[in-house]
A and B are shown apart, each in its own frame.
Chain A
């Protein structure tokens, strides 16, 4: 499919007789999302240093060109500029679709009518947004999407929450592979460098079936794009300096379509020290990160495409020193303090214990063979190696000895057949997943989760069809899971105890999409999913540091069964107002959660509360709203509101750790070019997070924090010369330096959130 799209993108060649310097390039420019023609788009021929502007119908003409190789740069005030490489031998007609700016409401993934799947609920972060938020973690990036929030452990460790669900229930797909890390941990952030991505998509409906990953709450797709079909070396270098943590991020990306193959290299380097709340330094909250990714694409002929992708991710993260506690007395003492224990009066970029060091390797081979224009077979192999080491403050010289040291080796194979030859499009495949999790010896601590091997064969099929007006999608998936666990006994003498489990899991989904009127699209999506309990839910045993509780798995847990319906409406009123609402309702049977036990467990560090995994019927319902209003050619208003309600129906009490309601609004002002400064823009946004009031006092040690309001601002422009572009922007977050705490930050017991952050963002494209 990718090949056909790139043809579409790079233009279609229509031959005419050749004459010396008499060639004509004609083209039409469309908005990728609305498919409306774009007027006043600038078309600049970099070699010829000439340009033109598209007319009302999106058309443009460049005349009197000599045969040769050209780079066309197409830009529009509301769109991400695109560069098109053109080998001009004859008169040429181009069809160009520009990716819309930030806050495009509907998915703007790839330009194909067929890809606008029925009933699916998905939202995408475009390259523009990714570039603007460069230097942030994946979790922070996606929390800008309606219906997505994040659960944090301090400011460095951010996990996405989709429509109220997180952790094991959300799959994160790194370049199409389910990220194989220790995803169960609330303080385990996804090991992905957002710089490798060209788009990040959040899927909430049927489409996530093809990816698997034992999920109930949707999937996040982090995908690098295709390498541009351009024989010259192009790339970008980015530098971000943030006042918080005095953090510096450098990233570079180069790509080229060579004679033998197309390749791309991405490297990122991030380093920062202690962050600061408005009143004090947050000791030991620095980060060091190094990432490399390489992609090679080789087309053996026009129907066989191969891609090899390798990425290496390494991060070291400090965790607030004052959050390291020994028992519940320490926790209670920490709660009442004006500033955390161990707070220092000066900035430091030292990383000390408690800290985490995580390394992730990912190797992917993808081969796609087209039998004809509409039938293809695709083979994918994915191998991942994840090593997670967590260091605690320990006695003796043991602080340099990891207290948790897990290595997960994962293999994955997928064979997928795609048939678009008839009116009903079919996609089907078989998969096999193998995970081998080992506790590396030498920690001197009984492991929190045991060694295990997981074998998981599966198969899936998705059908979709219909017309422009009404379309439908249907999908199903089945996986068999065999789990072999080798745990260590809790009593003496220590011995290895082996357990074996078999589970059946399935997923069924259906969606319909109806174009009610010219400006109203309504979608409905339902899904029935059975999720296998993960190994931490079955076998975890030990102390959970941050919350000072003992967590105990239960080996007799049953799979969760979820039914979810999503109803999405997209309405345009005139060409100025756009509203998207998404209403969802989810019933989960055997919902797995941590139940506080009546008895405390006595240890030498005192009595600890015990939380045992238990199951209950639950319900989650919510609403995500996004609205956009064009106040004029230059001014745009955006509003977003998210609301989630969750209930433990078994005990008739609210579910814990659900995001509070939140409301975001922004105003963006874009002026016409200002001398050499191209597309200058100013954006002011405010984010109001309500207090989480739906919680019983006995459900938490500390009541949820009060509501807060954050003001953010950004100012950006770009400079062009020859074939190069420099983007400059300055962004300020929490501009008013507000003192606040967030309910979904697990370190809220210990410290305030970070204060004002000013970021300078430079991006140089060549």
Chain B
């Protein structure tokens, strides 16, 4: 009998001890400072006229609400200057991610691709500290009329010295993708 009594006491004591040490946990909401929620591409016609804005917004980041993608219509045989803006709108006020990219411009590069049927020629119009392209500022030449997707990719830590990377070829770039957004674009 004394054995089972011992067992009982051990158990009761240890359980009490444990419950006493259990506090309710306070969950801290993380500040998602690194998140990119919004990408805006503003295309201004070189010869003047109304600018075209392409945008991707996903204020709550991955998961949650579905992102909103806004495409645009470009004029045929027209050249544009394109400026990219990146924001983190999950925090208030919104964080300017563009500035962060600029500060680390040697470690970032944007790449551009148009699907077949969409005649777009893109040329870098900016340089990082080493004289390599970044892609926050570009010139875009729209060709003949057509429809397709225009994909903007941002690579973190690409190998900018690899073959073709400086002229905007992704093949040998490496690094990891921070942004890959396809916009529906029509040229008419």
Contact = CB atoms under 8 A, between A and B. Distances in A.
Interface in A591-615: 601-606, 608
B67 A604 contact: yes
A326 B30 contact: no
B132 interface: no
Interface in B15-32: 15, 18, 21-22, 25, 27-32
Nearest to A492: B60
Contacts of B103: 396
Chain B interface helix/strand/loop/mixed = loop
Nearest to A369: B6
Interface in B81-107: 90, 100-101, 103-104
Nearest to B107: A395
A329 B32 CA distance: 24
Given A395-B178, A603-B58, A432 B64 contact: no
A325 B176 contact: yes
Nearest to A489: B64
B60 A395 contact: no
A375 B104 contact: no
A377 interface: yes
Interface in A467-504: 486, 488-492, 494-496
Contacts of A379: 10
A714 B176 CA distance: 42
A550 interface: yes
Contact of A377 (B6, B58, B175): B6
Nearest to B57: A604
A482 B15 CA distance: 15
A434 B18 contact: yes
Contacts of B11: 413, 415, 430, 432
A327 B151 CA distance: 14
Contact of A453 (B6, B25, B39, B100): B25
A434 B22 contact: yes
Given A326-B156, A371-B3, A604-B58, A445 B179 contact: no
Contact of B25 (A438, A542, A550, A601): A438
Chain B interface extent, by class: 35 or more
A478 B177 CA distance: 48
Contacts of A543: 62
Contacts of B33: 398, 444
A56 interface: no
Contacts of A441: 28, 30
B58 to A, nearest CB: 6
Contact of A432 (B18, B37, B62): B18
A395 B100 contact: yes
Nearest to B108: A395
Contacts of A324: 176
B176 A491 contact: no
Most buried by A among B11, B67, B157: B11
B183 interface: no
B176 A602 contact: no
A608 B180 CA distance: 11
Nearest to A545: B176
Contacts of B179: 604-605
A381 B14 contact: yes
Contacts of A381: 14
| Range for the number of chain A residues in contact with chain B | 35 or more
B172 to A, nearest CB: 9
A501 B60 CA distance: 27
Given A395-B104, A396-B104, A604-B37, A377 B64 contact: no
A605 B14 CA distance: 50
Interface in A429-460: 430, 432, 434, 436, 438-439, 441-447, 451, 453, 455, 457
B177 A606 contact: yes
A417 interface: yes
A606 B180 contact: yes
A393 interface: yes
A379 B36 CA distance: 53
B32 A377 contact: no
Contacts of B90: 492, 494
Nearest to A447: B30
Interface in B152-174: 153, 155-157, 159, 174
A444 B27 contact: no
Given A430-B11, A604-B67, A445 B32 contact: yes
B161 to A, nearest CB: 13
Contacts of A606: 177, 180-181
B176 A541 contact: no
Nearest to A375: B3
A633 interface: no
Given A375-B3, A415-B7, A492-B90, A326 B32 contact: no
B159 A341 contact: yes
B18 A411 contact: yes
Given A441-B30, A496-B29, A411 B21 contact: yes
A262 to B, nearest CB: 25
A342 interface: yes
B180 to A, nearest CB: 4
Nearest to B61: A446
A496 B126 CA distance: 43
A36 B178 CA distance: 67
B65 interface: yes
Given A444-B30, A445-B34, A326 B177 contact: yes
B3 A417 contact: yes
Nearest to A437: B25
Contacts of A550: 62-63
A330 interface: yes
Given A415-B11, A457-B15, A602 B67 contact: yes
Q: Which of A398, A415, A488 has the most C-beta atoms of chain B within 10 angstroms of its own C-beta? A: A415
A491 B60 contact: yes
Contacts of A489: 64
B59 A492 contact: yes
A455 B31 CA distance: 30
B28 to A, nearest CB: 4
Nearest to A334: B174
A434 B15 CA distance: 10
B71 to A, nearest CB: 14
Nearest to B7: A415
A303 interface: no
Contacts of A350: none
B16 to A, nearest CB: 11
A735 B165 CA distance: 40
A494 B66 CA distance: 16
Interface in B38-59: 39, 56, 58-59
Nearest to B175: A341
Q: Please list the 8 inter-chain residue pairs (A to B) with the smallest Cβ-Cβ separation, ordered nearest first.
A: A326-B177, A326-B176, A606-B180, A341-B174, A491-B64, A441-B28, A490-B64, A490-B63
13 contacts: A326-B155, A379-B10, A395-B104, A396-B103, A398-B33, A413-B18, A445-B30, A490-B64, A492-B59, A603-B61, A604-B180, A605-B178, A606-B181
Given A342-B174, A604-B179, 12 more contacts: A327-B177, A329-B180, A341-B159, A413-B14, A415-B10, A441-B28, A444-B34, A492-B59, A494-B90, A603-B58, A605-B178, A606-B177
